[in-house]
Amino acid sequence: MEDILILVDEQDNFLGYMGKEEAHFKGVKHRAFSIFVFNDKNELLLQQRALDKYHTPGLWSNTCCSHPRYGETTMNAVHRRLPEEMGFDTELSHVHEMSYKISFDNGVTENEYDHVFVGRYNGDPKINTEEVHDYKWIAMEDLKADMERSPEKYTFWFKRIISEFDFLKAMETEKTA
């Protein structure tokens, strides 16, 4: 059964519902989330998207991203989807929001109001190979340097979030709180 997404405006106000495929092919703005999980060395857990994804297959991205479904809060959705994709769950904090729109050659448009969450985890994930091809832990400095050298290896939203939000500062603030 197709996921039913939550349609929103530029301020994340609820507008209605639409099927995932229809929303992506019509380019209708919908609610989404992006999860960034760090270990105690402040390395970020990246996932390489499955090679048969309908957009951005094989690109590297943040730990997990998806959409809340009809009748589901964003917080419930992040704790549903992280175990589905990466095989673990952890405490997550909402740290940032942004809106973006990008169209792909196959007719899909990502038009999302994205809620960004951060958490900590020190184990190895048990990836769902239908969603994730590979994973790696990486220091933020190394990630930013690689994004500079090879931006085509990374998803649009991931690069945008990394450029907009200072995760290292947020993680340091979390340690002292």
For residue range 16-75, list pLDDT tens digits in order: 999 999 999 999 999 999 999 999 999 999 999 999 998 899 999 999 999 999 999 999
Q: What are the catalytic residues?
A: 65, 112
4-176: which CATH topology?
A: Nucleoside Triphosphate Pyrophosphohydrolase (3.90.79)
Closest CA relative to residue 70, chosen from 16, 8, 13:
16
Q: At CB < 8 A and 24+ separation, what contacts does 160-163 make?
A: 160/98, 160/100, 161/34, 161/36, 161/62, 161/96, 161/98, 161/114, 161/116
DSSP code for 154 = B
Residue spans per domain, the chain: 4-176
Sign of the alpha-carbon dihedral angle for 133, 64, 172, 113: positive
pLDDT at residue number 33: 98
Tell me the β-bridge partners of 32: 114
The region, left, alpha or beta by phi > 0 then psi within -120 to 50, assigned to residue 10 is alpha
